Structure 1
Amino acid sequence: MRKYLACIATLCLLTSYRGVAQRSNVRAADRLLQSEKPNFAEIDRLLREAAAHEETKNDPYTYYIMGLVEHNKSKAEYRKLITPGVVGDTASMFRSVVAEIYGWRKTDSLERTPDKTGRISLKYLKKVQDYVKEDKDRIYSAGLFWLDRKSYQEAVNAFTAALSAQHILLPLGEQNLPADSTTANLTYYALVSAYTGKLYPEVIRLSRYKDRAANRNEVYQFVARSYLAEGDTLGAMPILERGAELFPETTFFFGTMISIHQARKEYDKAVALIDRALKVAPTNPNLLVLRGNVYFLAQDWARATEIYKQVLQLSPDNYDALFNLGQVYYNNAVTLLSKPLSTKLDEHKAKEYFRQSLPHLEAAYKRSPDQVRDLLGNVYYRLGLEKRYEELYNEAKK
């Protein structure tokens, strides 16, 4: 029994010693950092061990020193860049100034968290905030630097770090970033970087800032498109709904929701959405085209025809209305001819539908020849207009 107890005591002492050793590691890293030529490889090793150990992984001092290491690296590189005759590395400077925020964000979080007695003890936060004030503009510049070079993930990292810097600078008790131009621009650039780089999960992660961003209409579209790119229509719908409320004249939000309902064959819901949008902009030709398209997909040719004609009264050169109305007449004709027992009267009506489709398709062809050519050629053929049929395809060969 005595041997067993002695063994337990030894293990306790070893555990305690290892914890003390890890705190000593952080102090050793601090001392090395203050030397004339810091050994950054050794400093990083000591800090990694401390961050992985139970006794020091939740110690603000560990992460304060982590941030300070990167801050010093960034300053050292900056001094090289501004010293004549000395070669510096701009990319390294910006990577370090962004990396410092990881450690200091953790310091900030740990120090703002009350202990078991409800007390908050601030040992390092004031120092961290002073350093962040010194570096926040450079972190912003890092984002612009990487965005300009189309290094989108690094740009996202930098702008996100700049947002974290704004969080660190908040007074105690505050949790939300101020609705100011700095927050608005940082958020916008972070989302632009992520969306342009097709980093759709990053866009979705950053979407919690969407209502603080500049150019909110554009930002809501980024977020919705990112959900759709990830195949998540369920996640996209609330964004599209809110976008439609905030920006009712932007047809993207209504149009995309309508497309989703159309894909699900929920035509009544699609029409209800369009009617809602038309209350805001009753003569918007794009919305009217969408309404016509719903009836087109539902094969309600009569209603589709009526709406496309209405669009062409408002906007005679509207390509979508011209092409789609031409297709409606064509589909009416083909439907008649496909009847198992079609009559001469059906053939006569079908020919009339082909004639009605012709001027609309010819007008649409002038706007988009490649998309319209085959359908127009089919109408020429059905009407026996061989010469125009040949001219159409000879023109395509030129």
Structure 2
Amino acid sequence: MKDKNFVQARKVVADAIQNHPEAAADPQIYRYKMDAVNELIGAENRKIYLNQRPDTVSFFNYIYELYVTGEQCDSVERISLNHKLKEGKNASPKFRKGIGLTLLPYRNNMLSAGKFHYKKKNYAQAFRFFDMYIKTKESDVFLGSKDITIIQDPDDRTEVSVLSVLSAYGSSNYQGVNTYLIESLKDSSLRPQLIEIGAKSASEQKDTTQMVWLLEQGFESYPETEYFFATLTKHYNDLQQYDRALEKVLRMTELYPEKRDYWYMAGKEQLLMNDYARALVSFQKCVEIQADDAEAHSAIGDIYLHDAHQAYALFNLSLSDPTYAKRKAEINELYLKSCEAYEHARKFDENRQELWLEGLRETYFKLNRGKSLRALEKIVVSHTDSKSEEK
């Protein structure tokens, strides 16, 4: 230090702390290291005034190291003080005030370092500085008389928490996201994006409870954000909790009653719950919105066909039963409605035979429409032959 070789002094002190337990337990050694690092910071600063090119990255790293060393110095001294207090001796911190006064001038530099790395997309480095900046806001080294902080930071905790979350997520530091997420959510302008980041981070950490909680928060406040809706419905469907998935879909139909896709999803969810009557209403709503909706027409055909199967399974009346004709006509009506729906599906999307072919085969057969059935089979054969020729 006397020779002003601060690089060497820093190295010697760091080696002593690492290799000698006595040095590692002595707060004075850390204070020496702080002094050496502080001189290196000053050397980089002087380059600016001398119109030389300072090493910006080194300058910021020295400041970070200064903060780390200052916190270590205070921690080591605190351990020593606790031992003395347990022995009944009077003890008060010797280094704490000086540590705080040494670190205080570099508060803005610490924040600037985070923003510097953030702009360069060095997100791991950016988080390191933002994290230190926020964590040390309540550091004991900055407590003055009557335990009042000497820090004069602006009211920027939320702003820097947002930057911390974005930096942590950008560097796959999902625990870092979790650390600052709640504070960051006070920023209303970025709240939906931050909730999404939080949910994705929780998913990466296999924290399903946190993920679902965040998704629910996001969907409640921002249902128009597709991520919350799509991820929640998929999650509940994967768990076969179709009623919960349907809740989300029905809310979307309330918010956007003219959007066909939400009604179609509602119908699909209701089918998964075996609620065919409500599913029919949902698919009919699709057709009202989009008359040429082949998928919805096909689904309507499937429901009527299902109802026909159910009715036929219960149809065990003899010919002499007075209700026989009525019940037979009711079943026939279901087949007619099913057939009509499949014909619409075919009309609006003839190339997608999976929407209508099997349904028409069965309904034509049940309705004794032999001519239509034969014509259908000719078309299918012709279509199959043309595909074979293409190959």
Task: Give percent identity, aligned residues only.
Answer: 19
Q: How does 1:170-181 map to 2 (within 5 A)?
A: 171=143, 181=155
- Shift in Å, 1:303: 2.6
Per-residue CA deviations over 1:241-300 (Å, capped at 9, x if unaligned) read 55566767767556544432221112234445677x68xx95355896575553355464
Question: Judging changes above 3 Å, is the alpha-carbon distance between structure 1 residues 350 and 223 closer, same or farther for their aligned structure 2 residues?
Answer: same
Partner of 2:158: 184
Size of the alignment, in residue pairs?
Answer: 334
* Residue number in structure 1 paired with 2:68: 102
Contact 2:267-2:283 within 8 A present in 1 as well = yes
> 1:70, 1:96 within 8 Å by CA — same for their partners in 2?
yes
User: Conserved in 2, the CA contact under 8 Å of 1:51 and 1:62?
Assistant: no
1:261 corresponds in structure 2 to 236
Give the letter aligned to residue 159 of structure 2: N
The 1-side partners of 2:176 and 2:273 are apart by 37
Displacement of 1:59 in angstroms is 3.9
Residue of structure 2 equivalent to 1:55: 22
Question: What corresponds to 1:74 in structure 2?
Answer: 41
* Aligned counterparts of 2:277 and 2:344: Cα–Cα separation in 1: 14
Aligned to 2:323: none
Say if 1:88 and 1:243 are closer, same or farther in 2 by CA, change over 3 A. Answer: same
Larger-Rg structure: 2
Shift of 1:154: 1.0
Match of 2:169 in 1: 195
CA distance in 2, matches of 1:163, 1:254: 33
Match of 1:123 among 78, 94, 97: 94
Q: Secondary structure at the match of 2:6?
A: coil
Cα 1:174–1:43, aligned 2, differ >3 Å: closer, same or farther? same
Q: What is the distance in 2 between the residues matched to 1:179 and 1:312?
A: 60
- Does residue 353 (structure 1) correspond to residue 341 (structure 2)? The answer is yes
- Deviation, 1:191, is 0.6
- Residue by residue over 1:115-159, the C-alpha shift from the partner in whole angstroms, topping out at 9 and shown as x without a partner, is 153777332222232233311111111111111111111111121
1:7-49 per-residue CA deviation (whole Å, 9 max, x = no partner) reads xxxxxxxxxxxxxxxxxxxxxxxxx2x6433233x53243243
Q: What is the distance in 2 between the residues matched to 1:147 and 1:375?
A: 52
Q: Residues 217 and 243 of structure 1 are in contact (CA less than 8 Å); yes or no, is this contact kept in structure 2?
A: yes
Residues in 2 aligned to 1:68 and 1:325: alpha-carbon distance in whole angstroms: 75
**Cα distance, 1:60–1:90 mapped onto 2, change above 3 Å:** same
Q: Which amino acid aligns with 1:79?
A: R
Q: Is the 8 A contact 1:271 1:294 kept in 2?
A: yes
What TM-score comes out, normalization by structure 2 length? 0.63
Within the candidate set 101, 113, 124, 1:142 is matched to: 113
Asked if the contact 1:194–1:203 (Cα under 8 Å) also holds between the matched residues in 2, the reply is yes
Tell me how far apart the structure 2 counterparts of residues 47 and 123 of structure 1 sit (CA, whole Å).
21
Task: Give the Cα separation in 2 of the matches to 1:63 and 1:330.
Answer: 80
In structure 2, stretches of 5+ residues that fail to align are: 314-330, 361-375, 384-391
User: For the residues of structure 2 that align with 1:291 and 1:110, how far apart are their CA atoms?
Assistant: 62
| Cα drift, residue 106 of structure 1 | 2.9
**SS of structure 2 residue aligned to 1:102:** helix
Q: Which of 128, 132, 155 is matched with 1:157 structurally?
A: 128
Contact 1:305 1:325 in 2 (8 A): no
TM-score by length of 1: 0.62
Give 2:201's aligned residue.
226
CA contact (8 A) 1:329 1:353 kept: yes
Distance across 2 between alignment mates of 1:254 and 1:66: 54
